Structure 1
Amino acid sequence: MSCFKVYGTALLLAACATPALPAALVVGPHYAIDEPDMLAWIERRLAAQQASGALAAKVDAAVSRAKTTLENPAPVAGITRAKTSRTAYFDPTYTAPRTIASPAGTILIAAGMKINPLTTVSLSRPLIFFDARDRDQVAFAQRYLDSREGLARPVLVGGSYVDLMHRWRIPVYFDQQGALVKRLGIRHVPAIVAQDGLRLRIDEIAL
């Protein structure tokens, strides 16, 4: 058998093995899209609310809620007014969990080294923690600040720090989510935190 006959036979076999294509492609009916354009719909709604004043009212309400939340943070949970005076101490010594080196490879802090930040940075002003919703605590804090000629930092665990800043004309802080009182172990207020050597002395004071 010549090479041409072999080649022709191979083509015939290949053609027989190939699935037959449909004689015609059937296309179904076309339908128009009934759904509205979402972007166009949103733009129309916004335009309508802006024209009616509803959009401005919603913006004002959102701004008012944000301002109220900012000026009146949620009080720290679990902190109550002191009924018994108590003194405790907090040691801020920190143990390094790993070695810290400079980019040049010089070891700055070795793993296991104990570091007390009070050896280099002092607590220059005492902190007084109190709840501004309690008039007695506010009065006590004011007397304490006056006795130190303002050289102390008021820290709230409840109430509006903005109101006190307007009244006292000094910075007033708020212990957001109780980060400081939890770290220092403060359970009752008013409480005064002051440096005592290389420790912090904490006095919870019953009024």
Structure 2
Amino acid sequence: MIRRVALAGGFLAIALVASSAWPVVGGALAHDHGVMGQTWGIVEPDLLDTIDRRLKTMQADGSIERMNAALRVKAQERVRNPLPVAGIGAVREGRSWTFDPSIVLDQDVRDQKGRLVAQAGQRVNPLSFVAMKTDLVFIDGRDDAQVDWAMKRWSAQNAKIIFVAGSPFDRMGEKKRRFFFDQQGKLTSHFGIAHVPAVVAPQGEVLRISEIEMPGAGA
């Protein structure tokens, strides 16, 4: 049966179907309409196969070897020219202080025969057992004045000259002397050094740390 209802000057047709012959499921009409159109299975490329094909292509055209060569050059460049230690500046006013290198052991220390040398929790000063025979001299390796100053004051036997910036390799070829580098600023951070030139020297069972103003630096 169809009823027509007037709405806003027009007609709205509402089909009301009532037939006990049609099955009703859950209060709704159910009817099998069959397959509506063609269906396909879900097809996705295998990720590992894709990566494998890509790598084989890159290997065949030489891309991998070029990448490896570029990485080697970059690594060598970083070794030869390490990043400067952050936060280290030139000395403008000298200062000096002492540093106690003592540590607290987190476990027992025994000799080769198993005899207790020091026990966990004990405070130990390394300078009580091992003498520090050379000074540590920290400089900016990019500054010719600092390099020449350090080399004139300390022989290779009396000190280790440690760069906080600049290439120790380039300077070794130039000066014919071995230089070192404070990797990631671990030594300067440990000693509280903020300016260079700086010297760490043994003084009994403590270390004397001095940030030294270069001649003419304040001019």
TM-score, normalised to structure 2, is: 0.67
Give the 3-state SS of the residue equivalent to 2:207 in structure 1. Answer: strand
Name the counterpart of 2:108.
100
In structure 2, C-alpha distance between the alignment counterparts of 1:40 and 1:111, rounded to whole Å? 55
In structure 1, C-alpha distance between the alignment counterparts of 2:191 and 2:98, rounded to whole Å? 9
Name the counterpart of 2:77.
68
Letter in 2 for 1:92: P
In structure 1, C-alpha distance between the alignment counterparts of 2:96 and 2:73, rounded to whole Å? 42
Shift of 1:184: 1.3
Structure 1 residue corresponding to 2:99, chosen from 90, 106, 109: 90
In structure 2, C-alpha distance between the alignment counterparts of 1:149 and 1:101, rounded to whole Å? 33
1:203 correspondence with 2:210: yes
Give the 3-state SS of the residue equivalent to 1:74 in structure 2. Answer: coil
Maintained 8 Å contact 2:134/2:157: no
Give the 3-state SS of the residue equivalent to 1:36 in structure 2. Answer: coil
Maintained 8 Å contact 1:99/1:107: no
| Structure (1 or 2) with the larger CA radius of gyration | 2
Give the 3-state SS of the residue equivalent to 2:92 in structure 1. Answer: coil
Structure 1 residue corresponding to 2:187, chosen from 180, 189, 192: 180
In structure 2, C-alpha distance between the alignment counterparts of 1:94 and 1:41, rounded to whole Å? 55
Structure 1 residue corresponding to 2:86, chosen from 77, 86, 91: 77
Shift of 1:153: 0.5
Name the counterpart of 2:198.
191
Letter in 1 for 2:211: E
Shift of 1:188: 0.9
Name the counterpart of 1:20.
none
106 and 49 in structure 1: CA distance in 2 versus 1, 3 angstrom threshold: closer
Shift of 1:166: 2.5
Greater per-residue strand proportion? 2
1:38 correspondence with 2:47: yes
In structure 2, C-alpha distance between the alignment counterparts of 1:128 and 1:142, rounded to whole Å? 10
Letter in 2 for 1:156: F
Correspondence list, 1:36-185, <5 A? 36-96=45-105, 100=108, 107-110=116-119, 113-145=122-154, 148=155, 150-185=157-192
TM-score, normalised to structure 1, is: 0.71
Greater relative CO (CA pairs within 8 A, separation 6+): 1
Q: What percentage of aligned pairs have identical amino acids? A: 38
Greater per-residue helix proportion? 1
Maintained 8 Å contact 2:140/2:163: yes
Maintained 8 Å contact 1:157/1:178: yes
Letter in 1 for 2:183: Q
What's the CA shift string for 1:108-127, capped at 9, x where partnerless?
A: 42466432211211111111
